[in-house]
């Protein structure tokens, strides 16, 4: 099937931004007043509130799109998996119809430079998101192909937001030419931690208004260049106790996040970007041992916006990597984690290999059959993802 292209998504993102107000924030914008923190979840299976998209599956356009997919293919659309190269990517798309593939530092770049993406899209019933986490600085996968970019922390001293938008747009156009469609960027964590810490120089500033300005510039630049953007790591990794790649991470309590870490998310959820939820234990929000990426309470906070004074978010919720980060893998298997994340309310589960895809789909099939993962929620997420990636435009 021919790739629809992220130009459609940019148009949709523009409409979404217009409907919710401009996401551009002036330098003098004060921190949005914060409400008191809501109560923590009591169980890992609490049902998050669902927004207006609950009726989406009932609309004729959505129904027609869903009818093109088998139940197992619908579940495949909710997965994004890291691939080693063209053969691996074609195989997982052909056999499992996953919704997205992820380009990591380990991925053979001939996938991008020798026509591999076209082969992948040719194996897909529904266009595939080709994702990457190209932030610049030390998190850069294709600098050798598109040029390098400074670390986020360097940008406020080096460029204006408008210059960052233009610089990002040029890099986005080069990524789009390679077949990439979604960049898991910008990182809108607020942090003063040392440059070489897990967030560190990936953060624009310890000032949430500066983070908002520069995060917005990157989002708009990515959209200008034809890519989807994803802000991360909700509800904020910048003040976390450690590195979620190596173990469990606790943040300050939710009420303390209200005037710092949550501010950029509050300001940018209407920008048309997706949101990536981190593996973060948040006192006052998540239950013990249930990080935000698999927490119904965290998903509900993002969806409704009510307990952090933000607009409701009805875009795509991505998880952080569920297969290569000890904050999750020390607690559960990939199939367990994917099921928990989707049941909690995430739309798309991310991990970095293809080996577990059949086992994950078997687990999700069982979760739907047994009622743990409602079919209506699966349909909701399929439609959100399809609209985000431009596969559904009505």
The residues that are catalytic are: 245, 320
Of 286, 279, 234, 236, the residue nearest 46 (C-alpha): 286
Task: Give the whole-angstrom CA distance, residue 274 versus residue 367.
Answer: 25
Contact, 44 vs 340, CB < 8 A? yes
Distance CA 262, CA 241 (A): 17
Q: Choose among 189, 196, 179: nearest CA to 142.
A: 179
What dihedral do alpha carbons 236, 269, 150, 132 form, nearest 10°?
Answer: 90
Tokens of 206: 């310890």
How many helices and strands, by DSSP H and E, does the chain display? 17, 8
The count of other CB atoms within 10 Å of the CB of residue 21 is: 10
What is residue 332's DSSP assignment? -
Strand runs labelled E in the chain: 79-83, 100-103, 129-132, 182-183, 228-234, 274-277, 317-319, 349-351
Both tokens assigned to 240: 């976390």
Token output for 81:
């998996």
Instruction: Quote the CA–CA distance of 105 and 146 in Å, as a whole number.
Output: 15
- 20, two tokens: 């919710």
Q: What backbone torsions phi and psi does residue 160 show, to the nearest 5 degrees?
A: -75, 165
């Amino acid at each position: 099937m021919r790739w629809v292209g992220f130009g459609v998504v940019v148009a949709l993102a523009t409409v979404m931004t217009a409907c919710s107000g401009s996401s551009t924030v002036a330098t003098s914008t004060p921190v949005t007043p914060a409400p008191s923190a809501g109560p923590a979840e009591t169980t890992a299976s609490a049902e998050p509130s669902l927004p207006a998209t609950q009726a989406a599956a009932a609309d004729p356009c959505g129904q027609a799109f869903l009818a093109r997919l088998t139940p197992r293919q619908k579940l495949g659309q909710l997965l994004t998996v890291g691939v080693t190269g063209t053969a691996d990517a074609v195989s997982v798309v052909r056999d499992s119809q996953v919704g997205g593939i992820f380009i990591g530092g380990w991925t053979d770049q001939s996938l991008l430079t020798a026509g591999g993406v076209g082969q992948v899209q040719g194996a897909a019933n529904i266009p595939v998101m080709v994702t990457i986490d190209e932030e610049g600085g030390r998190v850069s996968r294709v600098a050798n192909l598109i040029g390098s970019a400074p670390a986020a922390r360097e940008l406020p001293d080096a460029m204006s937001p408008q210059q960052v938008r233009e610089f990002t747009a040029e890099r986005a156009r080069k990524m789009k030419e390679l077949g990439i469609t979604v960049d898991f960027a910008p990182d809108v964590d607020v942090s003063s931690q040392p440059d070489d810490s897990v967030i560190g120089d990936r953060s624009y500033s310890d000032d949430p208004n500066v983070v908002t300005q520069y995060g917005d510039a990157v989002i708009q630049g990515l959209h200008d260049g034809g890519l989807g953007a994803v802000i991360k790591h909700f509800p904020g990794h910048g003040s976390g106790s450690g590195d979620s790649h190596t173990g469990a991470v606790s943040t300050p309590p939710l009420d303390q996040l209200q005037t710092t870490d949550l501010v950029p998310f509050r300001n940018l959820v209407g920008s048309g970007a997706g949101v990536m939820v981190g593996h973060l234990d948040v006192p006052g929000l998540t239950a013990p041992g249930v990080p935000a990426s698999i927490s119904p309470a965290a998903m509900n906070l993002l969806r409704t916006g009510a307990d952090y004074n933000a607009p409701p978010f009805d875009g795509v919720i991505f998880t952080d990597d569920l297969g290569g980060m000890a904050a999750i893998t020390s607690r559960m298997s990939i199939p367990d984690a994917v099921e928990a994340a989707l049941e909690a309310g995430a739309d798309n589960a991310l991990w970095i290999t293809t080996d577990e895809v059949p086992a994950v789909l078997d687990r999700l099939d069982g979760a739907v059959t047994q009622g743990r993962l409602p079919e209506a929620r699966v349909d909701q997420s399929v439609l959100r993802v399809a609209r985000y990636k431009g596969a559904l435009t009505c």
